Structure 1
Amino acid sequence: MVLLVDPGNYSTDIAAGASYRFKLLFIVLLSNLFAIFLQSLAIKLGTVSGLNLAEACRAFLPRWLNIILYIFAEIAIIATDIAEVIGFAIALNLLFPKVPLVAGCAISIADVMVILLFYNPDKSMRGLRIFEYFILCLVMGVVICFCIQLSLIQNTSVGEVFKGYLPSKSIVEQQGLYQACGILGATVMPHSLYLGSGIVQPRLREYDVKRGLVPPRPSPSSTSGNQVFEKTYYIPSLEAIQSSLKTSIAELAIALFTFALFVNSAILIVAGASLYKNPDAVDADIFSIHDLLASSISPAAGILFALALLLSGITAGIVCTIAGQMVSEGALNVKMRPWLRRLMTRSISITPSIIIAGAVGRSGLNAALNGSQVALSIVLPFVTAPLIYFTSRNKFMTVRSGPARLQVEGQPTLVTGHRNEGDDVKMRNAWYTTAIAVVIWLIIAIMNVANLVLLGEGQ
């Protein structure tokens, strides 16, 4: 939930509110519904097959297609990290005004130290959990500030706000469509689909281990440096799948449809009520909301906002690292130390951020921040297509009853094994689920194609 108030969400919601008041609340609602549905498919893929999305692409798709999808996944991760670099620089400038934006972008590379201190997948995750809970407390403080800000809104009726959740012609305008794509990318986030398909596996494994349904994992031949290694897949038991699938999806839906929808709506509503039709509305950005909170509530509210933005951006960087590891290990079978993976990603994303901050300044960073979220939206059709394909076919969504298994990549019984057909439990999507998935995919694809066409025409 911490990542629901990352710089990308702030920037796109603020821009939408300042430009179109409440009219793009419909896109906030639609994006959250899309995120719930697509993340549910990702959870289903990881739960039923025991593979995350990158591993499934490597196992079941032609090599050339797997490489193409891997490239798009890396583009999404870098675009996300560019947003975190910019958010870090802005937050640092808000907390310490004497630190220029260029320096803030450069200093952001120091978050590699956070990876070294808090994230080590081979050891206890307690340090990372404590760090996450601390940031969550800050985020909840910011949410309270926005609740106060909502209560201070004047000359706006509840009906006018709720009308924003209905479709509006503003969505099909060039600027409205651009901002709608940005909200979509910031909410769904392609790399989160890879992450969602992978993070369900520890719960499955814990269930099987407690009940003695899984054999011990063989020790890797080597764990140092970058290497190509023999991949062993964990195939969960049917009991674990049936126990965990509905619970995981329910937790996701509750988190996204309550906390995420409220936070993103609150940001847009505050921006729409306070900045719409203002002389500075065109340049509305994260600085604008910080100044609003600091002046209308208290300076402490502005500091809390900036601190939460700073640390949630660092947490988002850790998530990028975890997702990046899943993508590279799953798609290419290449293992890399977390801090090195973080350093490589940040080194790539920091360069354009520094150039933009130095050449254009605050307005350039704001445009780049919104543009990075649009880039995430453009990548979405490429990431979601294989997800829909895998979860819609019994070939990949068939489970064998009995205990869990560990399967070495390359052996002929990777997922299905040798068994009687009577032992099979087919768990592919229902026809209506597949139909909804295809409709969602078409909507996302059409939105992005139309946006690119309008941008190409210079409208």
Structure 2
Amino acid sequence: MLSPVPSSHDNSSSPTSQPPARSQISVVASASKTVLHHFKKHVGVGVICAVGYFDPGNWSVDIQAGASFGYRPMLFVIFLAGIIAIVLQVLAARLGCVTGLDLAHHCRLLLHDHPRHPRLVRRLVLYPLYALCEIAIISTDLAELLGSAIGLCLLFPKLPLWSAVLLTGVDVFIFLIIGDPSRTGRPVRLFELVIILLVAMVFVCFILLLVRVHPDWQQVFLGFVPSAGLLQAQPNAVYTAIGILGATVMPHALFLGSNLATQDRVSQPPQPLPTPSDTREVSFLQRLQRFWKSILYISRSERNGLKDYTSRHEFRQNNSVEFIRAHLGHGTVDVILSLLGLAVPINSAILILAATMFYSSGNDSSIGLVNMHTLMLQSLGTAAALLYALALVCAGQTASVTATLAGQIVSEGFISWNVSPFVRRLLTRLISLIPSMVVAISSGGSGINALLIASQVALSVVLPFVAFPLIYLTSSKMVMSVRTPKMSQEKLTDASPIPSTHPVSVSDALPTYQPPLPVHTCVTVVERKSDDPIKRSSTQEHVVVDYSNGYIFTAFAYTIWVVVLIANIYAIAMLGMGQTG
């Protein structure tokens, strides 16, 4: 008779058993909301940066590597190059998100007004570094131009090569159609969607091609496992591996990633107030005049007054902790997933195609972009060759647009040269167009392949000079520290944090949130500390949050830099001695 009582009591107390289920539902709902917010607001930057890692220059190196050495040694090299690219690209994203300035502007702040020898540092370090970066941009654009031209010739066989090179200059108008994301301080979603669409086309084309060639997937997966085959192979295997590294890690992508990371992708854009000129009727001639002024301007003034482009690092105010917490984690995840999910698979697919078709047959001599298409047409048919040519055109065009955008960022950052995207695109394309036209008319396809190799060598030479200031800046507490009022920091600490989605391999080095350092008393604007207790009690206390790299990751990053430097020196030495195979 007493048994029903405890059962009813247990049913009434059953909510104690419900919270685990409810908590699981809330966790899933929160995670789904976070993922939806990530795809809605933050996806795009990583894809744009990943474009530079599978440009036509990569295609040439990957095709030759696959045809000459097969799966086993070189697939691991592609994966290793992807890891190095992820490390450097994440550092670029952190620099832009925390400080609000891109890598080019930071190089100017660091070198333009040196405390002791300003003129000497400008002439011996800043301007030569800027010249090297411009050489990298032009070399990148040269590879994209040649790749797009070859792709057009493959799609339209009757089109002469020099005509295809000339036609690729039409993409100078792309910025006028889809907007310029470097000037608004906010994402241009149309620009990002166009790039995502072109990248998706490249990705789908390679999936279809891999289905057609039927590679040995067991050997493919073993190819990503490190082995001693790289050092035991013929001498030019090391040179080819270095070529993959130099062609994969692109200097211009670091400038581009640091700039796009400064954009506010969360808050709503401010609505401009109407002005008297907006209410007046504007004639057609006035509209035409405004249009040409908007695309044909060159100035030496700063871009806008919303950011501090002149104060040295010790006097600058970085982005707020709120902004960093809203963007840093999502931006890091976007970059990592884009490089691992797009750049590495596409480069691997190119090498797998070449290895499957040519390595077993021993036909590995001078396999270039055109030879690959010809052999694919003979082996797999017209449809596969058409997919290959279409993917080459899409890859060349997407990489060309992003290279121009990076060139614009470099010129504005290093020398404060304000130039419209149209003018910048025209100048860069003309510099690349002249040698391409000369080589296409005089030498044809063989000369184009040699020009592609020369462009990748130039990129390899520039990479260490760009990577070093990036590692140095992100490892500096002075550059990467954020000063915030103590009360504001306490509210941020009490609030529920955004779940961290960092991979395990970089979690200790790239934390999205770090505990605050000991409280410093702010006596003046320049953050001087006072020993006077009266002054200390009368001022507001601030918390300094340090977002610089940890000691372990700093050592890891500098180790990567040394490896890249030694590899490039070795490749240049072998190229000079003619021992590249």
What is residue 313 of structure 1 aligned with on the other side? 396
Kindly state the Cα deviation for residue 16 of structure 1 after the two structures are TM-superposed.
0.7
- Secondary structure of 2:226's match? coil
The higher relative CO (CA closer than 8 Å, separation ≥ 6) is in 1
What is residue 91 of structure 2 aligned with on the other side? 41
What is residue 64 of structure 2 aligned with on the other side? 15
Give unpaired runs (5+ residues) of structure 1.
217-221, 404-415
Task: Report the number of matched residues.
Answer: 433
User: Which of 177, 180, 183 is matched with 2:241 structurally?
Assistant: 180
Distance 1:149 1:185 in 2: 30
Larger Rg over CA atoms: 2
What is residue 457 of structure 1 aligned with on the other side? 577
Distance 1:384 1:333 in 2: 21
Distance 1:243 1:125 in 2: 19
User: Which of 39, 52, 55 is matched with 2:105 structurally?
Assistant: 55
TM-score by length of structure 2 reads: 0.69
Kindly state the Cα deviation for residue 417 of structure 1 after the two structures are TM-superposed.
5.1
Distance 1:169 1:84 in 2: 32
What is residue 191 of structure 1 aligned with on the other side? 252
User: Which of 451, 472, 477 is matched with 1:389 structurally?
Assistant: 472
Q: Note the 1:10-409 alignment, pairs <5 A.
A: 10-22=59-71, 23-61=73-111, 62-64=121-123, 65-121=125-181, 125=188, 127-150=190-213, 152-153=214-215, 156=216, 158-159=218-219, 162-163=222-223, 165-168=225-228, 170=230, 174-202=235-263, 205-207=264-266, 209-210=267-268, 225-230=297-302, 232=305, 233=307, 235-276=318-359, 278=361, 280-401=363-484
Structure 1 pair 447–167 and aligned structure 2 pair: CA distance change class (3 A) = farther
What is residue 442 of structure 1 aligned with on the other side? 562
What whole-Å deviation, never above 9, does each CA across 1:40-77 have from its counterpart, x for those lacking one? Answer: 11111111111100000001124232212211111111
- Secondary structure of 1:288's match? helix
User: Which of 526, 530, 545 is matched with 1:418 structurally?
Assistant: 526
TM-score by length of structure 1 reads: 0.86
Q: Is the 8 A contact 1:13 1:267 kept in 2?
A: yes
What whole-Å deviation, never above 9, does each CA across 1:288-319 have from its counterpart, x for those lacking one? Answer: 33345545555233223322321331222211
Structure 1 pair 184–72 and aligned structure 2 pair: CA distance change class (3 A) = same
Counterpart AA for 2:110: F
What whole-Å deviation, never above 9, does each CA across 1:13-42 have from its counterpart, x for those lacking one? Answer: 101111111221221011000000011111
Distance 1:417 1:165 in 2: 54
Kindly state the Cα deviation for residue 161 of structure 1 after the two structures are TM-superposed.
5.2
Counterpart AA for 1:67: Y
Kindly state the Cα deviation for residue 129 of structure 1 after the two structures are TM-superposed.
4.0
Give unpaired runs (5+ residues) of structure 2.
1-46, 112-120, 274-292, 309-317, 489-523, 530-541
Distance 1:313 1:417 in 2: 49
Kindly state the Cα deviation for residue 92 of structure 1 after the two structures are TM-superposed.
1.0
Structure 1 pair 300–248 and aligned structure 2 pair: CA distance change class (3 A) = same
What whole-Å deviation, never above 9, does each CA across 1:324-380 have from its counterpart, x for those lacking one? Answer: 111010110110010110111111111222222223221221232233223212211
What whole-Å deviation, never above 9, does each CA across 1:95-141 have from its counterpart, x for those lacking one? Answer: 11111212222222222122333334568945434532442342232
Structure 1 pair 54–428 and aligned structure 2 pair: CA distance change class (3 A) = same
Counterpart AA for 1:104: A
Kindly state the Cα deviation for residue 447 of structure 1 after the two structures are TM-superposed.
0.4
Structure 1 pair 358–137 and aligned structure 2 pair: CA distance change class (3 A) = same
Structure 1 pair 455–174 and aligned structure 2 pair: CA distance change class (3 A) = farther
Q: Is the 8 A contact 1:20 1:170 kept in 2?
A: no
Q: Is the 8 A contact 1:145 1:293 kept in 2?
A: no
RMSD over equivalenced CA pairs, Å: 2.7
